[in-house]
Each structure stands twice: as structure tokens, then as C-alpha cells.
Amino acid sequence: MQTRAHTPARVPVTGTRAAPKQTGKSLKKIEIFGLKALWLHFADEIDLRRLAILHLRIRRKEHALHVLKGEQRQIRRKCTRRMQRARNSS
């Protein structure tokens, strides 16, 4: 078990152990996993691995939601057509 005294210092990273890209005195935003944020410079390898896992889970859930909304759209269109036919036939 690591204690605070034995944990390595957090080094700013840009996907590897390289120093962050700087423009002037400020950090440049990097885009990774669909995020564009300054705090990503300070994510260590464990954080980046967890972000990768979460990114994949989010993408799968977004796709599943897209499929469900598509099915909802089909049902809505089908019912709208029925409504229009019923209105026209009476």
C-alpha cells in the first residue's frame, strides 16, 4: 500500500510523460477522449486509463440511446400516419 510520502509526484502529461505544451505562460488545451480541458495535462497514467474506459462506456451508452430514440421516432411516425388516415377517412 502506498502512502502519500511514497506516491510519485504528479507530472503534467499530454498522453505520455512529456512536459505539457505551453503557449506563452499558459497551458494549451489538449483534446483526448472527446474532452478538451486544461486539467488533462495533470492526469497521470492511471487517470488516463480510467478516462479511456469511461470514454468507451459513454460512447456505448450514447449509441444505445441513439438506437432507442430511433425506435421511438419510428413509432411516433407510424402513429402519426394512422392518425392522419383516420382523420382523412371520416
pLDDT, tens digit, for every residue of 22-64? 555 666 766 777 777 778 788 889 998 999 999 999 999 999 9
H/E stretch holding 22 reads strand 22-23
Q: Which long-range contacts (CB under 8 A, 24 or more apart) does 56-64 make?
A: 58/34
pTM of this prediction? 0.56
pLDDT band at 73; cut points 50, 70, 90:
very high
Distance (Å, rounded) from C-alpha 42 to C-alpha 58?
22
Instruction: Provide the pLDDT for residue 90.
Output: 74
Kindly list the distances between the CA atom of residue 63 and the CA atoms of 3, 56, 89, in Å, as whole numbers in the listed order: 40, 11, 39
- 54 CB-near residues (< 8 Å, 6+ apart): 33
